[in-house]
A and B are shown apart, each in its own frame.
Chain A
């Protein structure tokens, strides 16, 4: 798969998600100018990009959708609930079409039929005149109203052919967005057959396109090849631009070519010899032109109207500086200005289409493969280890070199934090995906559910977000299927007919908490217990607390549902949910009140890759406890050590805490040191004291997996390499607490 195609697929993914979010929003809050605009742009972008690649199935399908949403935007067609459902199906079909590309598969007959039916249903909403017009002319393009004639001059960079992109696809796409009035191949630069490098492009094109598009929209058609082509786009009726084109191209034959192909009259063009500029002049012309356009855009759209005076001064200052830089480095500035211009055009476009939305700040972002960040994290950890090793070798932190290494360590921590920050994503994007599933699930089983998301801006490691998605979905489905009652049952209980499911996220003492809460019927404690006893997972004479009984729903094969639905009720899955959460070093708790609802609380570490830990020694081995789980450390005096004498509890300032002797648990030898310490750790609401030997101090570390050999090692989540080259094992505090409570 080419890089361009990968970008296309990622972009489609984003656009489809935006589309789905907007549609689900429409379902709950009705259609707004903003949501209609979002959907229109998403469909339009997918169509445009697909056209670039020659993916005709996607273009044809998206085109009908785009037309309908264009009519909605114009106010010719109103939005109804069935239409929103239809559009959700269309979104799914577009996803299928795009997935087929990923898998390099052909569209099956059944899929074609689905697409055909959807198009017919979409056309059913279109104003009659529009369908008629398209059928007669057989041009699957948007209706051209106030269409502009654009001249597009195309030359290719040296590597264009090897990118695998097809210029013919672009030309074909031109006919989908408008009408190509003229294409003139520029062939005078093609060398003879003996001299040509057949893999280098020498050909060029001059095109006249009639389309209802702005300049930036025409440029967008070239989005995926913009780095590999040299474009010059202007309105055909601007004769001065033809002179500029001839000047810029520096191709003596171009003038005649343009005249012969009847792009322009002979009289209009100035003799190219008279105006051929030097390279510097050429750059300046382009530069001035771009600057003029920027100023024009700024004036027209009043982008900077609301800027504070201070900011304006700063801009003037920056402009001055930039002007100075222009003299020094025109090429670099030209690129930057083109970029600024693009951003501003985007703002203008957004402003036009989203007049009701507040102005958004242009955010510059860079899409990076997450595996590259993982590699970077790994190297960072190696550098940190090496740096610590140097410090150990120096053995004199007070010396100049020692101080330098310590300073280096601090800097490395900054870099490390910065890299880790790159991995953090807002949970909102992932949460919003659930809206539709919740809505569909509820609808399917006749329930009315208000799904409320909060804490969307909470940030979490990308890997954690991805891996928690399925467990959350499973629990949400369970809440709707088993938790929330049918409207008539709710009314009979004196509750409002509409149930409520909350999905919220927030940070709490170094962990992320995700809660799923419903106001349904709650868990039936006795029923769960009876079922567990029946299938043998719990003994009859047990002494389980409510919380422990509720947790039994995470046992394999335990379902108290009276009926098995397509959604849930087979007891398969909740055990997988728990395992997935534990794999992420997380924990899950359930609270429930019969008749009032249930709350599932999931606690997850902020990141899987790095922990701020506390290094300690037990016997011959070094261990690390995540700092976020440590409440306090207590050094035991010899008398206290003796008084403990195998106790399983410790009294800390009047509070009795369960104690876990790590040496006993992990079979460690007796320590050479006579010291003993208690480290009080907590996870959620549970607290345990860990009996360890020596405390060695804070230690930031990258977690390394122990591999599948140690997969069953309970209470240990990974390992870390210390500066000395020693291995330290990292405690899984949640599991240690469980081990202690299991006795």
Chain B
């Protein structure tokens, strides 16, 4: 799953992304979230990712975030949420 149309995952995108995630959850067993195009993230985006990760895990499916850019990773690390998001850092 590539977040094609998005370059940021912030308060401005979370509502759109929630719909995309809900759809992906219905259609896919194992979700691979390609973050290659995401340059920016804030705590609102991180919270949505955390929600998605825990929902996927609870439904016995898998999710993996890949190609996370350094700038994004840096923000995730500040809030120390990288482990909860399953990022190998």
With A and B bound together, what is the CA distance between A183 and B18 in angstroms? 26
Q: Scoring B residues 37 to 64 as 1 if CB is less than 8 Å from chain A, else 0, what string do you get?
A: 0000011101110111011001000000
Asked if A198 and B79 make an inter-chain contact with CB atoms under 8 angstroms apart, the answer reads: no
Q: Residue on A with the closest CB to B59?
A: A192
Asked if A192 and B58 make an inter-chain contact with CB atoms under 8 angstroms apart, the answer reads: yes
With A and B bound together, what is the CA distance between A162 and B42 in angstroms? 12
Residues of B within 8 A of A222 (CB): none
With A and B bound together, what is the CA distance between A198 and B17 in angstroms? 9
Residues of B within 8 A of A166 (CB): 42-43
Asked if B79 and A171 make an inter-chain contact with CB atoms under 8 angstroms apart, the answer reads: yes
How large, as a class, is the contact surface on chain B? 20 to 34
A672 at the interface (CB under 8 A from B): no
Residues of B within 8 A of A191 (CB): 51
With A and B bound together, what is the CA distance between A194 and B51 in angstroms? 9
With A and B bound together, what is the CA distance between A242 and B28 in angstroms? 42
Asked if A203 and B47 make an inter-chain contact with CB atoms under 8 angstroms apart, the answer reads: yes
With A and B bound together, what is the CA distance between A199 and B42 in angstroms? 12
Given known pairs A171-B78, A194-B55, the reply for A161 and B18 (CB within 8 Å) is: no
Residues of A within 8 A of B44 (CB): 161, 198-199, 201
Q: How far is the CB of B6 from chain A (nearest CB, A)?
A: 14
Asked if A190 and B14 make an inter-chain contact with CB atoms under 8 angstroms apart, the answer reads: no
Asked if B14 and A198 make an inter-chain contact with CB atoms under 8 angstroms apart, the answer reads: yes
Q: Residue on B with the closest CB to A202?
A: B47
Asked if B79 and A187 make an inter-chain contact with CB atoms under 8 angstroms apart, the answer reads: no
Asked if B18 and A198 make an inter-chain contact with CB atoms under 8 angstroms apart, the answer reads: yes
Residues of B within 8 A of A171 (CB): 78-79
With A and B bound together, what is the CA distance between A205 and B81 in angstroms? 10
A168 at the interface (CB under 8 A from B): yes
Q: How far is the CB of A230 from chain B (nearest CB, A)?
A: 16
Residues of A within 8 A of B78 (CB): 168, 171-172, 183
Residues of A within 8 A of B11 (CB): 161-162, 199
Q: Residue on A with the closest CB to B80?
A: A183
Could you say which of B15, B25, B54, B75 contacts A198, with CB atoms under 8 Å apart?
A: B15
Q: How far is the CB of B42 from chain A (nearest CB, A)?
A: 7
Residues of A within 8 A of B42 (CB): 166, 168
Residues of B within 8 A of A172 (CB): 78
Q: How far is the CB of B69 from chain A (nearest CB, A)?
A: 16
With A and B bound together, what is the CA distance between A198 and B16 in angstroms? 10
Given known pairs A161-B43, A168-B75, A203-B47, the reply for A190 and B22 (CB within 8 Å) is: no
Q: How far is the CB of B59 from chain A (nearest CB, A)?
A: 9
Asked if B43 and A184 make an inter-chain contact with CB atoms under 8 angstroms apart, the answer reads: no
Q: How far is the CB of A164 from chain B (nearest CB, A)?
A: 8
Q: Scoring A residues 169 to 186 as 1 if CB is less than 8 Å from chain B, else 0, what string do you get?
A: 001100000000001110
Could you say which of B46, B51, B75, B84 contacts A196, with CB atoms under 8 Å apart?
A: B51
With A and B bound together, what is the CA distance between A5 and B44 in angstroms? 20
Contact residues of B between 1 and 51, Cβ < 8 Å to A: 11, 14-15, 17-18, 21-22, 25, 42-44, 46-48, 50-51
With A and B bound together, what is the CA distance between A184 and B79 in angstroms? 8
Q: Residue on A with the closest CB to B26?
A: A194
A167 at the interface (CB under 8 A from B): yes
Interface SS, A side: loop
Could you say which of A162, A167, A190, A199 contacts B51, with CB atoms under 8 Å apart?
A: A190
Could you say which of B22, B79, B80 contacts A193, with CB atoms under 8 Å apart?
A: B22
Q: How far is the CB of B14 from chain A (nearest CB, A)?
A: 4
Given known pairs A161-B43, A199-B14, the reply for A185 and B81 (CB within 8 Å) is: yes
Could you say which of B15, B50, B79, B84 contacts A167, with CB atoms under 8 Å apart?
A: B79
Q: Residue on A with the closest CB to B17?
A: A198
Q: How far is the CB of B34 from chain A (nearest CB, A)?
A: 18
Asked if A185 and B80 make an inter-chain contact with CB atoms under 8 angstroms apart, the answer reads: yes
Asked if B51 and A184 make an inter-chain contact with CB atoms under 8 angstroms apart, the answer reads: no
Q: Residue on B with the closest CB to A191?
A: B51
Residues of A within 8 A of B54 (CB): 187, 190, 192
Residues of B within 8 A of A168 (CB): 42-43, 75, 78-79
Asked if B43 and A193 make an inter-chain contact with CB atoms under 8 angstroms apart, the answer reads: no
Q: Residue on A with the closest CB to B41?
A: A168
With A and B bound together, what is the CA distance between A694 and B17 in angstroms? 77
* Residue from B22, B46, B80 with most neighbouring chain A CB atoms (10 Å): B80
With A and B bound together, what is the CA distance between A185 and B44 in angstroms? 13
Q: How far is the CB of A192 from chain B (nearest CB, A)?
A: 4
Residues of B within 8 A of A198 (CB): 14-15, 17-18, 44, 47-48, 51
Residues of A within 8 A of B51 (CB): 190-193, 196, 198, 202
Q: How far is the CB of A528 from chain B (nearest CB, A)?
A: 65
With A and B bound together, what is the CA distance between A168 and B18 in angstroms? 22
Residues of A within 8 A of B79 (CB): 167-168, 171, 183, 185, 205
With A and B bound together, what is the CA distance between A457 and B22 in angstroms? 65
Asked if B18 and A187 make an inter-chain contact with CB atoms under 8 angstroms apart, the answer reads: no
Residues of A within 8 A of B18 (CB): 193, 196, 198
Residues of B within 8 A of A194 (CB): 22, 25, 55
Q: How far is the CB of B54 from chain A (nearest CB, A)?
A: 7
With A and B bound together, what is the CA distance between A166 and B46 in angstroms? 12
With A and B bound together, what is the CA distance between A172 and B50 in angstroms? 21
With A and B bound together, what is the CA distance between A123 and B79 in angstroms? 33
Asked if A190 and B50 make an inter-chain contact with CB atoms under 8 angstroms apart, the answer reads: yes
Residues of B within 8 A of A205 (CB): 79
Q: How far is the CB of A54 from chain B (nearest CB, A)?
A: 11
Q: Residue on A with the closest CB to B16?
A: A198
With A and B bound together, what is the CA distance between A517 and B47 in angstroms? 65
Asked if B43 and A203 make an inter-chain contact with CB atoms under 8 angstroms apart, the answer reads: yes
With A and B bound together, what is the CA distance between A202 and B50 in angstroms? 11
The list of the 6 closest CB pairs from A to B, nearest first, reads: A198-B14, A192-B55, A183-B80, A193-B55, A168-B78, A196-B51
| Residue positions of B touching A, CB distance < 8 A | 11, 14-15, 17-18, 21-22, 25, 42-44, 46-48, 50-52, 54-55, 58, 75, 78-81, 84
Beyond A187-B50, A199-B14: 8 further Cβ-contacts under 8 Å?
A168-B42, A168-B78, A183-B79, A190-B51, A196-B47, A198-B44, A198-B47, A203-B50
| Residue positions of A touching B, CB distance < 8 A | 161-162, 166-168, 171-172, 183-185, 187, 190-194, 196, 198-199, 201-203, 205
A-B contact pairs, 22 of them (CB 8 A): A161-B44, A166-B43, A167-B43, A167-B79, A168-B75, A171-B79, A185-B79, A185-B84, A187-B50, A192-B54, A192-B55, A193-B18, A193-B21, A193-B51, A193-B55, A196-B47, A196-B51, A198-B14, A198-B17, A198-B48, A202-B47, A203-B47
